[in-house]
Amino acid sequence: MASNSGNTLGVGMVGYAFMGRAHSHAWRNVSAFFDLPVRPALAVLAGRSKQKAEAAAASLGWSAAVTDWRELVKRDDVQIVDICTPGDSHAEIAIAALEAGKHVLCEKPMANTVAEAAAMTEAAERASARGVRSMVAFNYRRVPAVALARKLVADGRLGELRHVRAQYLQDWIVDPDFPLVWRLRKDKAGSGALGDIGAHIIDTAQFITGRLITGVSAITETFVKERPLAEESAGLSAAAGASATGPVTVDDAALFIGRMEGGLLASFEATRFATGRKNSLRIEVNGSLGSLAFDFEAMNELWFHDNTLPGGEAGFRRIIVTEADHPYVGSWWPPGHGLGYDHTFTHEARDFLEAVATGADPSPSFAEGLRVQRVLAAVERSAAAHSHWTNVEEDE
């Protein structure tokens, strides 16, 4: 493994768009708010366009820019490789980085296929024996209210768990003239709403409950099947005299019911066609002693019902998750001063750096990411078979 200079770990990030900007913000700020044994240095950013990569590096605070991720992986000033690219490149980059002795943080979904995710997990396990760490970037685990929900469940406050209802609702592609970006192409994204946002609610449900999904029955739908080509592709199409539209090859929405370990029943909905919902990751967990409910559009709140109280006092109460003893919150602002989306990535960077510095195994591991990938695959198989019950396979 490449050595770091003192208490600094150099970060090399591949990709600089939406997720790259969020991750850059986290790497820049994490040491200012959390007392860590190591500090990240924004060493180098990689992107395909030299001009755009250099502009992004200057804007986001990176010391250098390159156009080949392989060059980034080989650099001596890079100890952490942060992968913020479309899913079709995750496996190749992650495996190469791990084999080069670099710690790896990889955006979700972990890969486009179970086979890719399994290969990444095997590489991570080999690298772990040499002290090299890896983690999947499921940032919603790092919402303080979600972390508090997990603690309430782990402490037994909900009693015997019985139901989970999870939704991720967005509306950003309702307009049929929205272009055919990479997230709408199976060759780049693997799947649509299912992998992009469904992966989050799968992970969040398993994280809060501590139970794995064992089987599913699913349906998926693509509501708009043809879209205008994105700008670059449209230019190529026009030059060739072809139509400036292309097929949407992923799902727009996915619905499935599931069974989790211990007989827990669950339902999941992931859609980009919930008009009026911007980023509504919602989860409710019901148990014999109580229930909890969360919606990311009110991310500093957790609703909790204590079923042990007398009926005359029963009902959900709102917990404002901004107290210093709430997860992560003590490093930020006074009580009542809420956090935002960007803070989840800072918490993610904090947890990953802590694990790397102490030699701990970070979570979610690549093995946990593979488990989510297996659920995604089971949903796709079930939908293709017209909603037949489908077990989540351990070996495929």
Enter the tokens of residue 123. Answer: 């590489």
Q: What DSSP line would sit under 163-224, residue for residue? A: EEEEEEE--TT-STTS-B-GGG-HHHHSSSHIIIIIHHHHHHHHHHH---EEEEEEEEE-S-
Residue 358 φ/ψ, nearest 5 degrees: -95, -5
What is residue 109's DSSP assignment?
S
Enter the tokens of residue 352. Answer: 């990953």
Angle 204-314-151 (CA atoms, 0-180°, nearest 5)? 30
Query: What's the pLDDT at 241?
Result: 45
C-alpha to C-alpha distances, 146 to 143, 173, 309, nearest whole angstrom: 5, 27, 23
| Rounded distance between C-alpha atoms, residue 309 and residue 312, angstroms | 8
- What burial class does residue 324 get, using C-beta atoms within 10 Å of its C-beta: 0-12 exposed, 13-18 middle, 19+ buried? exposed
The whole-angstrom distance between residue 333's C-alpha and the CA centroid of its chain comes to: 25
The three-class DSSP label of residue 132 is coil
| Rounded distance between C-alpha atoms, residue 289 and residue 152, angstroms | 11
Residue 84 φ/ψ, nearest 5 degrees: -125, 40
* Strand-by-strand arrangement of the 213-221 sheet: 317-320, 301-306, 290-295, 280-287, 161-169, 264-271, 253-260, 213-221, 390-391
Query: What's the pLDDT at 393?
Result: 85
Query: What's the pLDDT at 231?
Result: 73
| Rounded distance between C-alpha atoms, residue 189 and residue 14, angstroms | 16
Strand-pairing partners, residue 285, are 164, 292
Enter the tokens of residue 49. Answer: 């366009």
Enter the tokens of residue 61. Answer: 């605070």
8-140 carries CATH number 3.30.70.20: no
Residues of the chain with pLDDT under 70: 1-6, 232-243, 387, 395-396
Sign of the dihedral defined by the CA atoms of residues 267, 383, 180, 344, in that order:
positive
Paired sense of beta strands 245-247 and 253-260, if any:
unpaired
Q: What DSSP line would sit under 289-311, residue for residue? A: SEEEEEEGGGTTEEEEEETTS-G
- CATH homologous superfamily for 142-362+373-384? Dihydrodipicolinate Reductase; domain 2 (3.30.360.10)
At residue 292, what is the residue type?
L
In the chain, where the domains are located: 8-140, 142-362+373-384
* Strand-by-strand arrangement of the 80-83 sheet: 65-66, 39-46, 8-14, 80-83, 103-107, 134-137
pLDDT tens readout for residues 340-387? 999 999 999 999 999 999 999 999 999 999 999 999 999 999 999 986
What is residue 5's DSSP assignment?
B
Reported pTM:
0.94
| Rounded distance between C-alpha atoms, residue 123 and residue 130, angstroms | 11
Residue 171 φ/ψ, nearest 5 degrees: -135, 20
| Rounded distance between C-alpha atoms, residue 186 and residue 248, angstroms | 8
At residue 243, what is the residue type?
S
| Rounded distance between C-alpha atoms, residue 394 and residue 374, angstroms | 7
C-alpha to C-alpha distances, 62 to 58, 79, 234, 324, 359, nearest whole angstrom: 6, 15, 31, 32, 26
pLDDT tens readout for residues 173-215? 999 999 999 999 999 999 999 999 999 999 999 999 999 999 9
